[in-house]
Amino acid sequence: MRWENLTPDSEHSRADAALFGAEAVITRTFDMPEFRGITFHEIRARSIVNRVPGASRMPFEWTVNPYRGCTHACVYCFARKTHSYLDLDTGLGFDSQIVVKTNAPELLRRRLSSRSWQGEHIAMGTNVDCYQRAEGRYRLMPGILAALRDHANPFSILTKGTLILRDLPLLRQAAEVTDVGISVSVGFTDETLWRTVEPGTPAPERRLDVVRALAGHGIGCGVLMAPVIPFLSDRPDQLRATVRAIAAAGATSVTPLVLHLRPGAREWFMSWLARHHPHLVDRYQRLYAEGAYAPKWYQRRITRQVHELAQEYGIGPAGAGMPRRIRPAAPAEPPTAEPTQLTLL
Ligand code: SF4
């Protein structure tokens, strides 16, 4: 293990702290194989509950994000741009320079206890994955879930991480006193595509195992089918295979979301595309000529196809057949506004 900035008073540490909006920063690396090449910036954050900007079309107002950067390393990740706000690289840096808000549980507990807090819904996993690999080491989510449970505060989680199953007892306890929404993100089931475009994530089938396990414990879980990647995962047979697998896992709902390419993600994705699928570069430039989003006609086509398949495979509407207090996290249309801390996995 290597430590840097051990003295919070050092010039370097003070500069980092100001940049990260933190009281102090400790940077360290671990030698274990699962964290090789990854640098953790441990910070004592000043706040943990963030308000979604008013212009956003998200169906929630408050978010909690204990991490910045994500070792799941999805090439298309919509959150890449947010790393530039920390003066960190949005490509490999986003995958390997992880900011950890080590005091997230205590900050949240304090905020939930404050008189100004009205008990609003809190969404997690809306910027980066709160169950990414780092969570296995830092274990911030148990403290966060315990605080939400103790205050009976409604919340939702969107994740690609199988680690969420570790916290099943806490999720169940929370669901006894408040509304809990859980969604897992699975855009496709093609293993070859997964290995190159989502290299740090659990395999799609393992993520569907999470849906299966939650359903087995009576916890309804929706699937955010995101992203559907044009020309790589959008063939009718691919959509069918994915929806069929989602249905077989017992998902309570499926919500498709077509790839969008905001600045930060766009450059990284396009360089990946040029390396792995060079024949598609021109088609992408045409499809995304108007900006970050694929044309409406394309989005509508995918949505219709997925909804028809969901009906065929009997995936019910959100909330059907679930315990009253446990609902799939409500995914939303992506915001049209320029990046906030909100991206959706
Ligand atoms: S898309 Fe989600 S899981 Fe993938 S790198 Fe981004 S935050 Fe992590």
pLDDT, tens only, 248-287: 999 999 999 999 999 999 999 999 999 999 999 999 999 9
Alpha carbon distance 187, 184 (integer Å): 10
Q: What is the pLDDT of residues 171-208, one digit of tens each?
A: 999 999 999 999 999 999 999 999 999 999 999 999 99
Q: Whose CA is nearest to atom 6 of ligand 1?
A: 77
Q: Is 197 in the pocket of ligand 1 (CB under 6 A)?
A: no
78 alpha carbon – ligand 1 mean position (Å)? 8
> Structure tokens of 196?
């190159």
**Residue 322 clears pLDDT 80, i.e. is over it:** no
Q: Is the CB of 160 inside a 6 Å radius of any atom of ligand 1? A: yes
The pLDDT of residue 26 is 78
Task: Give the alpha-carbon dihedral of 223, 229, 235, 237, to 10 degrees.
Answer: -30
Is 70 exceeded by the pLDDT of residue 297? yes
3 state DSSP class of 262 = coil
Bigger pLDDT: 322 or 116? 116
| Terminal-residue alpha carbon distance, the chain | 30
Which one, of 142, 116, 100, 101, lies nearest residue 62 by Cα?
116
**With a 6 A CB cut-off, is 140 part of the ligand 1 pocket?**
no
Burial status of residue 8 (CB atoms within 10 A of its CB: 0-12, 13-18, 19 or more): middle
Residue 159 CA to ligand 1 center (angstroms) comes to: 8
Tell me what pLDDT residue 317 has.
Answer: 54
**Is 239's C-beta closer than 6 angstroms to any atom of ligand 1?**
no
On the 0-12 / 13-18 / 19+ scale of CB atoms within 10 A, 178 is middle
pLDDT, averaged across the chain? 87
Q: Ligand 1 within 6 A of 79 CB?
A: yes
For residue 65, report the distance from its CA to the centre of ligand 1, in Å: 13
DSSP 168-195: HHHHHHHHHHS-EEEEEE-----HHHHH
pLDDT of residue 332: 38
Spatial separation of the C-alpha atoms in residues 158 and 141, rounded to whole Å? 13
133: Cβ below 6 Å to ligand 1? no
- The answer, yes or no, to whether any atom of ligand 1 lies below 6 A from the CB of 210, is no
* Rounded Cα gap, residues 38 and 27, in angstroms: 11
| Nearest one of 195, 192, 316, 331 to 246, comparing CA atoms | 316
